[in-house]
Structure 1
Amino acid sequence: MENKLRAGEVTALKVARLSEFGYFLSNGAEDVMLHKREASRELKEGETVDVFLYQDHEGRLSATMSQPKVRLDTLAWLTVVGSQKRLGVFLDMGIHKDVLLSNDDLPGPLDQWPVIGDQLYCGLRLDKKGRLFADLATEQEIVDQAESAEENQFNQIVTGHVYKLNEAGALVFTENHLIGFIHNDEMTRRLRLGEQVECRVTFVREDGRVNLSMKPRKEQAYNEDAEMIYQYLKNHKGRMPYTDKSDPDDIKNEFDISKAAFKRALGKLIKENKVKQENGMTFLKI
């Protein structure tokens, strides 16, 4: 008895007959259509061909000779190519028809949904009606792909994609196969599922995972803040009504940094003999 054909699998089928639109393929019990646009070459009646099965836009089981990026028994990083609030997001799985990741599998807030260009680690699944959907990888499936971090990776810059969000922060799978965690306090903005993010390794844990931060190292932050203040002075005729005695709210409103960060940066400029403070003002030293 032949196995029942189902979407999401690559299977070998025989060309049963030719038609105006393509080829009817069969396993001896069921037929599926391989449209001419889905055939990579001309086929002859009676030959056997490997095809991937999927549902077309009308829900009919169809075949393609295009090689999918993912199947029912595999996982892959798939790129988001579209989104519909009432349905979910659509992913490119390597054939002409995209696959849907249902909104039931996505975070509640829409601003945490992936956008076009983001990537998700997915497999495929069939619902009770035999329809094909994307299926996010489980935590264990992510772990199975991961490698343990080494101590010398501390302070390195890594790039990865957010694969899970929770109340405390975001979990990231990096390009060098590390699992990292970014606490909310270490984010410079709110992240979304599937987003690519560049981070710094702040701690290598005993379990081989890493803690990550989107924030620059303090020394780098001092330099950036000092440069911002220096440019501000140059753009305001070499003077400003802000000093290390200024009100924290005034500093926050003008420079979007804390008073402590402002004082550190200003101290750096004073030490480098680039600025001076007099009478409640800060001046460039020419």
Structure 2
Amino acid sequence: MVKTGEYNILKIKKETDFGVFMDGGDQEILLPKRYVPKGAKPGDELEVFLYHDSENRLIATTDRPYGVVGDVVTLKAVDATEQGAFLDWGLMKDLFVPLSQQMMRMRKGQEYLVRIYLDELTGRVAATEKIDPYLSNEELTVKEMDEVDLIIYRRTDIGFVTIINNKHTGILHKADQVKPYDIGDRLKGFVKAIREGNKIDVVPGKAGYKKVEDEAGKILRLLQEHDGYLPYHDKSDPEEIAAFFGMSKKTFKMTTGSLYKQQKIEFTKTGIRLLD
């Protein structure tokens, strides 16, 4: 069974002057000529994305949209009407956001964080700003120290609410932020802790020693680029460390401590120095 709004591996059933028809089981799905790879012939299998065109026909494309059903993405509005707004998602036909799925009226030219979904009534792919109903921490699919994909969702007094793997929510605390973030920013991170009630704390970067190894290379490179000396140490301002190294002060101290034990750097009264 084919899945609308997702990638499908389908076999070319027959050729026509205006494209090829893909075998969709109980239906034939047109892949317009402009999207047919050179040399493709009946019997070949292709990965195609399926969606409905302006005439409500299920159609295939080899173009890749900015997201598929279930993804949370930031998209720009290219038009707004009384019925809803249209977002550019990388395909010829824009993605529709019904007025009922908007938090406030969308405006042309503005970017919005939305979730792509399949409308059960029409069978068409659409988008919504009302993301919360699709997020739940009741049954977690992650555990502590797991590496995860994060999206900055909204600000709070203690940091940011993030979307984890398009499924859960977690808190990125101010103390763990290594740089300024905007709503919709995407980053790699890991689960720092899971607290009572399945509340999740997340941190940017990689967990544990993997993170130390990556950041150690960065510090050594920066030392080499600055004649073997950098004026940063364990008393330096956390914001200055974050701005220069792109890491938290905690990570900086952990990493420089590891490099010191490996006799790759030494600490001075005013900074760190590369050892030969």
Q: TM-score, normalised by structure 1?
A: 0.48
Structure ID, larger Rg: 1
Q: TM-score, normalised by structure 2?
A: 0.49
